[in-house]
A and B are shown apart, each in its own frame.
Chain A
Amino acid sequence: MSATVTSPRGLRARGAGLSSTAIVYLVLLGAIVIGAILTATAGRNFFSSGNISAILTATSILGLVAIGQTLVILVGSLDLSVPYVVSLSSLVGGTMMAGQTGNIVPAVLVTVGVAAAIGLANGLIVSQLHVHGFIATLGVGLIVSGYLGTNYKGSAGSAPGAFRAIDETKIGPVPVSVLIMVAFAALAILLLQRTRIGHHMYAVGGSPEVARLSGLRTSPPVVVAHVLCSVMSALAGLLLLSRLSVGSPTIGSQGGYDLLSIAAVVLGGTLLAGGRGGILGTLGGVAIFAVMDSTMGALQVNPFLKDVVRGVIIIAAVAVYARRNLQVRPARFSAQEAR
């Protein structure tokens, strides 16, 4: 339903994605400049290694979730079950590890497997039962949340020291957790730009009907995106496990990763209707959030006012992107209107 030209979908998508990514990074730059000035007024150094490392750390968890969310949004769906997958993953990982270094590998594999199964369920419900992504993932999220509430009355499990080291280790000011997140972002970019399924994700998200008429099976990209999104959420849950040292049944909801990740993706210039955008922009969106939070933290902004600022910035930024998209589009009428 997006009013863009539909023919060479993938190419256009990536072309437009790059330039809108540039805007995202300009906004990020602006946020950093303003943040640095405001932080200085509070008598702090924005660029101190401690602050940089805090900002980077803040991007790791949301970054992983948002990478997955980007894929799902690109295919025209969305995922509201991420908070529960994050929580469940931290618990499955934590209880399986049970403090033993030897259990790390099997625990990670099982956790990822469980999450992939949930993602598969999401993907199948969306693509085979034709349930809207909003409802499908809301429903699956509720199902998982009931399981969590029934079986866990608080934190459970324990991460062994070796696993906790993932969170504690830094290379210079850069935490290893961030490097992990960036590595998965790179993989996701490769997937989207260099693989057939990646191209199909753009195609299906851009115009499912055209994709289908051009002989594409529309289900696989949707299912793959949902599976990968859940797996990314599982990795975020495992990273939280390494940070918290225990699994927690509420950690995903605490972070509000469902709406926050969607906001970050859109802040990163990806079209919420699907088909256009990319991982690089999402990383920019996540970084904008992290810089904003850091600045407001240094200024000791009232926690409620922080939400106001977040809300206004999200709307304002997306309004700017929308205006730009308008100018870039060459065609006055889309294929749809020309009918």
Chain B
Amino acid sequence: MTTTTPDRPDPAGRELPAHARPLGARLAAGAATPGGAVYVLVAVLLVSIIISNPNFGDPSSLIRFAGRTAPIAIAAMGQYYVIVSGEFDLSMGAVVTTQVIIAGNMAGESAGQVVPVLVLMLLVGVLVGLVNGLATTLLRVPSFIVTLGTMLALFGIVRYVAGVAPAGNPVDEFRQIGRGGIEGVPVVEVVPYPLIIVVVLAALAAYSMRRPFGRALVAAGDNSEAARLGGTSVWWIKTRAFIISSLSASVAGIILVGYAGGRAVGEGYEFSAITAVVVGGVVLGGGRGWVLSAAAGAYALELLFVLLTVLEVPSTWRPSVQGLIIILAVAASARVWQVGRRAATVPDPDRSGPGHPTQPIPGTHEGEKR
């Protein structure tokens, strides 16, 4: 399927993703990249919160926070695959809502329903991703438009069929996935299942990005045509990214319906996920950024919200602070990438990097070019 091999030069002639290098170099380089800076941001926010209110430093509080942030971190990792391949997935929120309603309407009676309904939900996730991916790659509709369309259609279908709210909560066994955890653990009291899920998925994600699939994905996002000429079947690579994105939204939905119950969750989730990815230093337009940094971006954003609460910023001003922060974070990361690029002294005449005023919007050009 993919013929990009590890020893092959990066199609765009730039540095390989950092994880391709030895650990020492990786750490050193890490601090200087936006993908690494986000971890510093997480640490700074965490310390600020704990200084402002030491209660948040309590291990059991921290681990609960880590657990409840899992769904958005998972969604961010899924969105990462699409963004790094140069596309966009706006249908994520609608997928979350769909899954919440399926769970609430179909798994409300007995524990025996849990597994079949979970399977159904994951199948729905695959289907939506497949539609997004094929419409983007084969019909050549920009993914921004495809996923905007599937967002509208999916929200509409679900609300038409099932109403604006699910009939009820799924059974407790189902909700345990998002609400429960391993009890009686020393120090932290409980290890929430969502935290375990996000850690496992993060490990899988990091592994997948080292595989030929991951390299081909980054290559496709960096220069779709070059990747194609290099023998990558770009349409299938990108379609898989969309499926991963939809599946991650489905997993987020499964956790959310457990965490908070079956109500109208999901609207706007795609914007949260995209914001998290970008705060994680991943470049919109594809080809650059690390998957774990996307998850870290989600943690940074959620920590920011907690900090705003702790600092008692009036609730009406919070969107403004959020807006300011994401602009500053991305502006900073644009600068860092740029410096990194200049240091690498690899001129790249046909690609407008983030150092350019108008980098094309990901997912705005036809999915796969010719």
At the interface, is chain A mostly helix, strand, loop or mixed? helix
Check A311–B316 contact: CB distance below 8 A.
Answer: no
Among B144, B229, B323, B352, the most chain A Cβ lie within 10 Å of the Cβ of B323
A 244-271 contacts with B by CB, 8 A: 259, 262-263, 266, 271
Number of A residues whose C-beta is below 8 Å from B? Answer: 72
Check B361–A130 contact: CB distance below 8 A.
Answer: no
Check B141–A318 contact: CB distance below 8 A.
Answer: yes
Cβ-based interface call for B263 (8 A): no
Cβ-based interface call for B345 (8 A): no
Check A131–B327 contact: CB distance below 8 A.
Answer: yes
- Among candidates B152, B322, B360, residue contacting A311 with C-beta atoms closer than 8 Å: B152
Cβ-based interface call for B26 (8 A): no
Check A314–B285 contact: CB distance below 8 A.
Answer: no
Check A305–B358 contact: CB distance below 8 A.
Answer: no
How many angstroms between the C-alpha atoms of A263 and B90 in the bound complex?
13
A 285-339 contacts with B by CB, 8 A: 302, 304-312, 314-315, 318-319, 322-323, 325-326, 332, 334-337, 339
Cβ-based interface call for A136 (8 A): yes
Cβ-based interface call for B150 (8 A): yes
Check A149–B316 contact: CB distance below 8 A.
Answer: yes
How many angstroms between the C-alpha atoms of A254 and B351 in the bound complex?
38
Q: How far, in Å, is B249 (CB) from chain A's closest CB?
A: 17
Cβ-based interface call for B145 (8 A): yes
**Given that A138-B323, A143-B324 are known contacts, is A323 also in contact with B140, CB under 8 Å in the complex?**
yes
> Which residues on A sit within 8 Å (CB–CB) of B210?
none
Check A150–B317 contact: CB distance below 8 A.
Answer: yes
- Among candidates A273, A314, A337, residue contacting B361 with C-beta atoms closer than 8 Å: A273
Q: Which residue of A lies closest to B334 (CB)?
A: A130
> Which residues on B sit within 8 Å (CB–CB) of A308?
152-153, 156-157, 160
Cβ-based interface call for A222 (8 A): yes
Cβ-based interface call for B370 (8 A): yes
Residues 140-173 of A, flagged 1 when their CB comes within 8 A of B and 0 if not, give: 1111111101100000000000000000000000
> Which residues on B sit within 8 Å (CB–CB) of A272?
142, 144-145, 361, 363-365
Cβ-based interface call for A102 (8 A): no
Among A1, A3, A325, the most chain B Cβ lie within 10 Å of the Cβ of A1
Cβ-based interface call for B244 (8 A): no
> Which residues on A sit within 8 Å (CB–CB) of B349?
209, 213
Known: A319-B139, A322-B140; 17 extra A-B contacts, CB below 8 A, are A1-B352, A3-B225, A130-B338, A135-B330, A146-B319, A146-B321, A150-B320, A209-B350, A218-B357, A219-B357, A274-B360, A304-B155, A307-B152, A307-B156, A314-B145, A318-B142, A335-B350
A-B contact pairs, 30 of them (CB 8 A): A1-B351, A1-B365, A2-B360, A3-B225, A3-B369, A130-B331, A130-B359, A131-B327, A132-B283, A140-B327, A142-B323, A143-B323, A204-B358, A209-B349, A219-B357, A259-B148, A262-B144, A262-B148, A266-B142, A266-B145, A304-B156, A306-B156, A308-B153, A311-B154, A319-B139, A319-B141, A322-B141, A322-B366, A325-B366, A336-B225
